[in-house]
Amino acid sequence: MNILQSHTALNREEWAKLRNKTPLLLSKNELENVKGTNDIISLQEVEEIYLPLSRLINLKVEASRQWKGVTCSFLDKKPKKVPFVIGVAGSVAVGKSTTARVLRTLLSRWESHKKVDLVTTDGFLYSTDTLEKKGLMSRKGFPESYDTQKLIDFMVRVKSGVDKVEAPVYSHLTYDIVPDKAEIIRNPDILIVEGINVLQVKNSNPLFVSDFFDFSIYLDAEESDIKQWYIERFFLLQKTAFEDKQSYFHRYKDFSQKEAMEKATEIWADINAKNLKENILPTMRRADLILRKNHDHEIEKVYLKKF
């Protein structure tokens, strides 16, 4: 990756020192429960990478509250609780879900913001039926496969301090929106929004999802590594989730290793690699913080935006 002129680069050792005695309030069992399928993360990784990050976000939450207080004082209005919103972006299979869940757990251990919620933008994909009618099933995950206006409306309500906001629910098993089911967001202290599309912009929209973020994170890695992680995950799911008859990918459960490799490689090349190059990777420079992974899933470098 080229050096980002707008970001300060810190190696792992430099970043780890910024923990500044932040306690590790996460057990090994808890870490196992929050990590994603075939993702690799250790308690050492949490200590050296995620504890400094949780400290930085804590400081930003406090500063945000102070700034809101100043603004309300100037306007002679009573302060209203509004969630601090964090966006987590990056490619399919890069480890966004694990990062989001680890952060959620760590941030909820701080006294000043115990209520931390997490939503994924998968819930704002169009239903399979709609995608098929639009001829977009082969473009699932691309910007046009999302109900962007619905996602924007959700963010508006969250940032307006609405007490109860509903988010649609997505099933990775059925590969579709779950009908008549919603996740209720009740004005948390912090809301983490995770998805491949959260930093993308469209010229046709007056508002972008990222307009509502107080802080944004991008997970980065070599494309060859992400591809390998995707294929490894495909093999793992073939022996687990794909066995379920309700799984959208049930038809792949009896594929030979060669057939599974060919299918996973085909899906990566035709959909995920294209989406990464065209729509996801170009948004990296917009992130406030970039976490750069090596081939072993370890974060080797951190890039923090200067301005």
Instruction: Name the binding residues.
Output: 90-97
* Stated length of the chain: 307
Closest CA to 196 of 273, 263, 115, 134: 273
Annotated binding residues for ATP, as ranges? 90-97
Residue with the two structure tokens 């300060």: 8
The identity of residue 3, as a single letter, is: I
Closest CA to 276 of 234, 237, 232, 219: 219
Closest CA to 94 of 300, 302, 294: 294
φ and ψ at residue 7, rounded to 5 degrees: -125, 145
Report the distance separating Cα 52 and Cα 277, nearest Å.
Answer: 30
Measured between alpha carbons, how far is residue 97 from residues 68, 70, 120, 290 in Å?
A: 30, 35, 9, 15
Closest CA to 172 of 254, 90, 240: 240
User: Residue 42 is encoded by which pair of tokens?
Assistant: 């250790």
Contact (CB, 8 A) for 198 and 87: yes
Count other C-beta atoms under 10 Å from residue 37's C-beta: 15
Residue with the two structure tokens 């309030």: 25
